[in-house]
Structure 1
């Protein structure tokens, strides 16, 4: 049923945004891998990896809700044009420092923090913008296709980065990412819809969004599970440079293969979500996906072979993407448009904002106990979170 799976692409403005992101997101994931390898090459430290990842994402935790107010107050297309322009400048500066041989770890950390601030303000806008591009009947499909695109980039970007870093160095990858932003900027300039905005007004508006999310039991349950998975599941990826080097005895190409395998699983999960209509059974699906991802993490902690790791990692990608995309879809279909930016900002805070805390904890624990033990511990935490979510469903607090 390819027509049903791709139905949101029938809308011109969504097609443009989808195409622009297709190029830009690959560049973003290439930079993500190259940056992690650069930090590890400069420091050889798991804690440094965790710290830089923390700085890259913690602005979402601090500023994400403010980004939601902006998304409901100002034209979303204009906000996205500004955000992507600034992100391109950040990548170009990092490329210049690295290619010029002047880069130090504090440069990487500072620029990661700056980009994190941009993402904190951009993410709620981007999530909400999808509702401006397609009618409500196709919104769930647009969200799933957007997740599939993200997952495809997560598959292609790391694989390409592994080869390019080995042959050309990290600086060339940063430069390619800077150039990739041109695609999404051109797409945004060509989109005809103005892109929402105009309803949110300061602190009372922010409180209104928080109150709605807390009082809506199914939305609250979904947000709590996403927060748990983001804290104790997704941060495993920050340890992959050390896992590739110390556990598997590989280099940047091995790292690219590992992250690409997880991205491939994420793509399968997103495409599976794209085929669904409605939200019936989403709670059970999401809970089981969180449980499966937790078990896969515990299995990965015992792996010492690259081939076996490449077989396990797709299960992680599939599980985590199902949790996140399923929760995103459910929330967007149950939130009024006037509150969409603020509620999706809360989703961004629980999804992206909790991840840096997990990164920092993962880096510190790995320094003390080793990478395999840390991955096993995070897997057990995901299993417990899935069990807690199941109890909430049984008591009627979550999506059935």
Structure 2
């Protein structure tokens, strides 16, 4: 491990500004995640509605990422990123106006969640596919780890800020800050010189004589065929799906724990998310310094740690213990997410990378497989039972990969 090279990819001017954009945008998204969830539960006191509103972002993520991947492999990736960031700012300012004018209803938050999901679905494949073009494959693992570190840093700081603002100044001011941060990401992206265009492949983009829709569908089909032909990529994508469905719902159901289990307020929820961010930041920096060695085993170890941490939260209904469990939970999530994404991008050909990452993004669209049932179970049997079930399933899936998928376990 060489900590002197931890921040090496930030020496690339273009990646540095992309990284700053991620920092601003993800700060906004983390604030919105806390504020939207707490506002819905504050207005309606319903775990099912809380799950439904959070699921809203996943609806467009079921289909649109595939089209976003084709666009990322066809056109200027920088423009796609900017369009998505401008949309994020407009969504935030719209919710701000609704709250300030006292017209906000839970279904407004559902609509904003759906629109935000559409924005991410079309933007994120381009953002992720742009990174190897800026830093090269040699620094890809480092760059993705620092990207994750930026996201983790926002998880550490942004929820606390949002919780304090929500508690003392109300949700409207939180959404105002969210819009300003989204505009900040647009400004940072303006300084990126590389536009992210690639040379079109004659086979992947030969759509002469076909309509635009047929051409897009043809490219999507070729991307899916490519993934099916690459066993390691396929297994990594399946593992990403399983761990997303089982590990991520806790973040969305956290208001249930704060209000019903711990009997506390939004500031306490902000602390939980911030401590989780601290663990994720530590995990990301470790991966950035670790280099390309034994990554498969680290990936699976991180998944085990996430499952055991969630099980601890489910079993021990004490707030301070939950705070402690957030550190290994964040560490495990960050290491797992970073390594899966790095291995997938390293193994993918440049001309297919946008489409491969779009398939990876489908994981977030399929999150309702965990979030919505968990919300219903929490209404019937309590949040602890819901998260406990997901934790046990996560441990079982990770054990299966460890014992039966040597290609993942032995990846370097």
Matched with 2:331 is 318
Q: Could you tell me how far 1:15 is from its partner in structure 2?
A: 1.0
> Any idea what the Cα deviations from partners look like across 1:300-357, whole Å, max 9, x if unmatched?
112222211110011111112211111001111111110000001111112x222233
Task: Give per-residue Cα distances to partners, 1:359-393, cap 9 Å, x unaligned.
Answer: 11111111111100011100001011101211332
Within-5 A mapping of 1:1-400: 1-197=2-198, 199=200, 201=205, 202-278=216-292, 280-350=293-363, 352-394=364-406, 396=407, 399-400=410-411
> Quick one: distance in 2 between partners of 1:7 and 1:297?
33
Is residue 217–residue 397 contact of structure 1 (8 Å, CA) maintained in 2? no
1:40–1:46 Cα contact (<8 Å) kept: yes
TM-score using structure 1 length: 0.96
Question: Which runs of no fewer than 5 residues in structure 2 stay unpaired?
Answer: 206-215
User: Residues 15-57 of structure 1, C-alpha deviation per residue, up to 9 Å, x if partnerless?
Assistant: 1111232223212211111111110111101111100110112
How far the C-alpha of 1:65 sits from its partner, in A, is 1.2
Hey, what's the Cα distance between the residues in 2 that align with 1:12 and 1:236?
A: 36
Q: Distance in 2 between matches of 1:205 and 1:193?
A: 24
- CA gap 1:86/1:212 in 2 versus in 1, 3 angstroms: same
Query: Could you say if the C-alpha distance between residues 58 and 399 of structure 1 is closer, same or farther in structure 2, counting changes exceeding 3 Å?
Result: farther
**C-alpha spacing 1:371/1:233, structure 2 compared with 1 (3 Å):** same
- CA distance in structure 2 between the partners assigned to 1:191 and 1:275 by the alignment: 25
User: RMSD of aligned C-alpha atoms?
Assistant: 1.5
Q: Distance in 1 between matches of 2:27 and 2:305?
A: 27
Rounded to whole Å, the distance in 1 between the matches of 2:258 and 2:14 is 41
CA distance in 2, matches of 1:177, 1:155: 16
| Superposed displacement of residue 398, structure 1 | 6.0
- Write the distance in 1 (CA, Å) between the matches of 2:189 and 2:252: 31
Instruction: Flag structure 1 segments of 5+ consecutive residues without an equivalent.
Output: none
Q: Work out the CA distance in 1 between the residues paired with 2:4 and 2:182.
A: 29
Give 3-state SS (helix, strand or coil) of 2:193's partner: coil
Determine the C-alpha separation between the residues in 2 that align with 1:320 and 1:376: 17
